[in-house]
Structure 1
Amino acid sequence: MSMTMSVARIEAFLFRAEVGEPVKTSFGSIPRRSVLLLRVEDADGAHGWGEIWCNFPPYSADNKMRLLETVICPAAIAGTYLDPSDAWHTLTARTHRWAIQGAEPGPFAACIGGLDLALWDLAARRAGQSLRALLAGTAARDAVPAYASGLNPDTAAETVARCRDEGFRAFKVKVGFGTETDTRVVSSIARDLRPGERLMADATQGWDLAEARRAVPRLGAFGLGWIEEPVAADRPAAEWAELAMLSPVPLAGGENVMGYEAFATLIANGHLGVIQPDMLKWGGVTGAVAVGRRAVQMGRSYCPHWLGSGLGLLAAAQVLAAVGGPGLLEHDVMENPLREVLAQPFPRVQQGLFPLPGGPGLGVEPDLKAAADWLVTRAEYRASRG
């Protein structure tokens, strides 16, 4: 792909919605849903949409809004780029020392990842192609398998029943709440699975090594599709290697990993059967495609992580459709009034598959009018004239 891109205008929209049932994890709860969107225009008026990861801590989006205002957007608007990948590499390099100085490599990476998505959406729209077609041509799929994610342990049975009626055939429940709770929830759901259905478990870094040694074999015995993040993402490779040998099912992880070198090591060492980068936490489309393709080449499953609005969900789906392999799309199914309204028309899962729009770019647009009641802040940044 070859083109020249210049960023002429960036709009940022911060939305927030309270929910009745918080998302519960082993590290804490998410009592409200925040979404930070970017709309980027080039000098010709073409536009693209991006989303920035900000689901935890609950008000982390506010900090990222300020980073956009003070450093990220001025840096982005100042440049002309060969293509979206060139923009990602250029901005990552340009802001590297700022991220170190501010002790905020994660927030900087998330902001640049969201901007990268917007530029890829813009490029695909300008080319008149879906994002997946721009990335993979005719090899891209038009639907990807999806699983219902975010299930709280205390309401998991009801959520599985609801999601089954909505077309899902795979489910992921949160664990890491103690031996008795974890075993009861996983065993009850596994017992009631229907033919062709799958169950996964996510500990969200919830165990130390001693706990994981006990939990991984016990929960894996229920025939899980994978066990996700049994220990902290930064634990030594030796701990992951041991758990991989103890586990009767694949281990999964990657959402809390940053950098090409880190992912190359993660994929090469073979301890994880399922690789789960979060493109809007690090790397954008540029990084996710590279990591996903390498994972599939090495015989792993690429299952992109996402917990935000429908815009980011569509981005994950488009990249998965381009990368290929046996991976599934993570589809948050917990209460979130911002999920669908910010990605219209929103696709519906059918017989376990998430159908992708046929339109250019991501194939969806946020309905800003319908989401107006949840808008907290809007900001705009323009290139200086002359």
Structure 2
Amino acid sequence: MTGPIHIARINAYSFRSPITEPIKTSFGTMHDRPAVFVRVEDTDGAFGWGEVFANWPSAAAEHRVNLLARDIGPLAFEYPLNHPSELFYALTERTHIVALQSGEWGPFRQVIAGLDIAVWDLFARKSGKTLRRFMNNTAADDVPAYASGIHINEANTLIEKARQIGFTNFKVKVGFNLEVDLTQLHRLFEEKSNDETIAADANQAWDVEDALKFTSQTATVPLAWLEEPIPADSSAYDWRKLNKACPYPLAGGENIVDFRGFEAAMKSALLQVVQPDIIKWGGLTGSLAVGKKALTHGLLYCPHFLGGGIGLQASANLLSAVGGDGLLEVDVNPNPLRDGFGATSSCIGRQGWTCNKDPGLGITLLPEELNTLRTHDAEVS
């Protein structure tokens, strides 16, 4: 690959898949599974795929497509790129005032993240390497993984299904009813096998006192980690208070949205498990840098993810490139926008998640079966 690349065309597509059982978290319920996929093409006809966060709010998917088409995408044509990270920094700086004016920091960050992933995929594809080997030539082909999206009240059934697929690590959602959460969690630990691990995710459900009550009553339970027990923007004082009392690691990062936030969390050691989400902020540029920094601080790096098939494959390649002992998050609830790119069971084996073998992310076309789920699309050129 010689000389800079020039982006010539961007396509964005929003999708919504109906689901039989709503996905419940402590802060809200998903009644369908949305996704936004982005394709970036350069003047040579080379292309790459990315994904934009669209889970929340409920109307997010179509809005992100419009935001990309009308406000952010046209700016991408102005920058010749010698390295994929250059677009992330250029668009972040260029859109700062508009994002400030509109108060839509999240949507701007999410669209830029999706474009960033697509540009990394494009560069890797042009190099003839898989994305992980483009980022790190010694990256492994497999990464450890854990099953997530498991509501505490449905944990017995969902964990057993995940076991049948091949998972031995699980994360359950708590934060609905403290007493019920505690009862169910203790029962899960009584029934699990010795080679299995269980983490818990409260999705920012509690104040500090409720979080302390939970941790005190699970002091004898070897949780792999407790994720976002209190709001991510709680004061450092509250996080320190909880961290001091917590008998197991604290995790978070999906709602930290800049380098300064991650640097502060890692330097203060308030989080022992660092979890950026590549489609919410940073794309591969930000998350790769955060991952490397987390390892230098001796922290566990486990990228957060709850979306479609493109972002999941990108997260797997990212984790492989960063290295360390972190695990890939794999939602085990039904989602055609994930499984259309390959069933989870086909990627999980004894070594964890097996990454793609073809260049880039290994994705050339969107699966045809997703066409009926498309709600909106746009092209910018």
TM score, norm. by length of structure 1? 0.96
Find the counterpart in structure 1 of residue 22 from structure 2.
Answer: 22
Query: Alignment partner of 1:72: what SS?
Result: helix
Runs (5+) with no aligned partner, structure 2: none
1:77 CA displacement: 2.2
Q: Which amino acid counterpart does residue 66 of structure 1 have in structure 2?
A: N
Query: Alignment partner of 1:240: what SS?
Result: helix
Find the counterpart in structure 2 of residue 195 from structure 1.
Answer: 194
Two-structure CA RMSD over aligned residues (Å): 1.6
Counterpart CA distance in 2 for 1:198 and 1:344 is 23
- 2:251 touches 2:273 (CA, 8 Å); kept in 1? yes
Q: Which amino acid counterpart does residue 254 of structure 1 have in structure 2?
A: G
Give the alignment of 1:261-340 within 5 angstroms.
Answer: 261-340=260-339
1:344 CA displacement: 8.4
- 2:166 touches 2:345 (CA, 8 Å); kept in 1? no
Query: Alignment partner of 2:24: what SS?
Result: strand
Q: Once the two structures are superposed, what CA deviation does each residue of 1:225-271 show, in whole Å capped at 9, x if it has no partner?
A: 00000100000111111111111100000000011111111111011
Find the counterpart in structure 2 of residue 45 from structure 1.
Answer: 45
1:220 CA displacement: 4.5
Q: Which amino acid counterpart does residue 241 of structure 2 have in structure 1?
A: E
Query: Alignment partner of 2:330: what SS?
Result: strand
Q: Which amino acid counterpart does residue 149 of structure 1 have in structure 2?
A: S
Give the alignment of 1:50-199 within 5 angstroms.
Answer: 50-138=50-138, 140-199=139-198
Indicate how the Cα distance of structure 1 residues 194 and 346 shifts in structure 2: closer, same or farther if over 3 A, else same: closer
2:222 matched to 1:209?
A: no
Indicate how the Cα distance of structure 1 residues 365 and 160 shifts in structure 2: closer, same or farther if over 3 A, else same: farther
349-358 vs 360-369, which moves further: 360-369
Counterpart CA distance in 2 for 1:371 and 1:331 is 20
Indicate how the Cα distance of structure 1 residues 344 and 155 shifts in structure 2: closer, same or farther if over 3 A, else same: closer
Find the counterpart in structure 2 of residue 228 from structure 1.
Answer: 227
- 2:142 touches 2:351 (CA, 8 Å); kept in 1? no
2:33 matched to 1:11?
A: no
Query: Alignment partner of 2:44: what SS?
Result: coil
Q: Which amino acid counterpart does residue 67 of structure 2 have in structure 1?
A: L
Counterpart CA distance in 2 for 1:340 and 1:330 is 15
Query: Alignment partner of 2:314: what SS?
Result: helix
Q: Which amino acid counterpart does residue 273 of structure 2 have in structure 1?
A: V
Indicate how the Cα distance of structure 1 residues 209 and 169 shifts in structure 2: closer, same or farther if over 3 A, else same: same
Q: Once the two structures are superposed, what CA deviation does each residue of 1:82-102 show, in whole Å capped at 9, x if it has no partner?
A: 221111101111111111111
- 1:344 touches 1:364 (CA, 8 Å); kept in 2? no
1:343 CA displacement: 5.5
1:153 CA displacement: 2.0
1:347 CA displacement: 4.4
Query: Alignment partner of 1:24: what SS?
Result: strand
Counterpart CA distance in 2 for 1:85 and 1:241 is 34
Q: Which amino acid counterpart does residue 376 of structure 2 have in structure 1?
A: T
- 2:172 touches 2:201 (CA, 8 Å); kept in 1? yes
Q: Which amino acid counterpart does residue 118 of structure 1 have in structure 2?
A: A
Counterpart CA distance in 2 for 1:108 and 1:167 is 37
Q: Which amino acid counterpart does residue 182 of structure 1 have in structure 2?
A: D
Counterpart CA distance in 2 for 1:345 and 1:87 is 31
Q: Which amino acid counterpart does residue 51 of structure 1 have in structure 2?
A: E
- 2:272 touches 2:299 (CA, 8 Å); kept in 1? yes
Aligned residues: 381
Counterpart CA distance in 1 for 2:345 and 2:59 is 26
94-103 vs 181-190, which moves further: 181-190
Q: Which amino acid counterpart does residue 63 of structure 2 have in structure 1?
A: N
Indicate how the Cα distance of structure 1 residues 163 and 189 shifts in structure 2: closer, same or farther if over 3 A, else same: same
Counterpart CA distance in 2 for 1:163 and 1:368 is 24
Q: Once the two structures are superposed, what CA deviation does each residue of 1:263-295 show, in whole Å capped at 9, x if it has no partner?
A: 111111011110000111000100000000000
1:346 CA displacement: 8.3
- 2:49 touches 2:363 (CA, 8 Å); kept in 1? no
Counterpart CA distance in 2 for 1:114 and 1:165 is 33
116-125 vs 23-32, which moves further: 23-32
Q: Which amino acid counterpart does residue 358 of structure 1 have in structure 2?
A: K
Indicate how the Cα distance of structure 1 residues 89 and 69 shifts in structure 2: closer, same or farther if over 3 A, else same: same
Q: Which amino acid counterpart does residue 143 of structure 1 have in structure 2?
A: D
Query: Alignment partner of 2:348: what SS?
Result: coil
Query: Alignment partner of 1:371: what SS?
Result: helix
Q: Which amino acid counterpart does residue 317 of structure 2 have in structure 1?
A: Q
Find the counterpart in structure 1 of residue 247 from structure 2.
Answer: 248
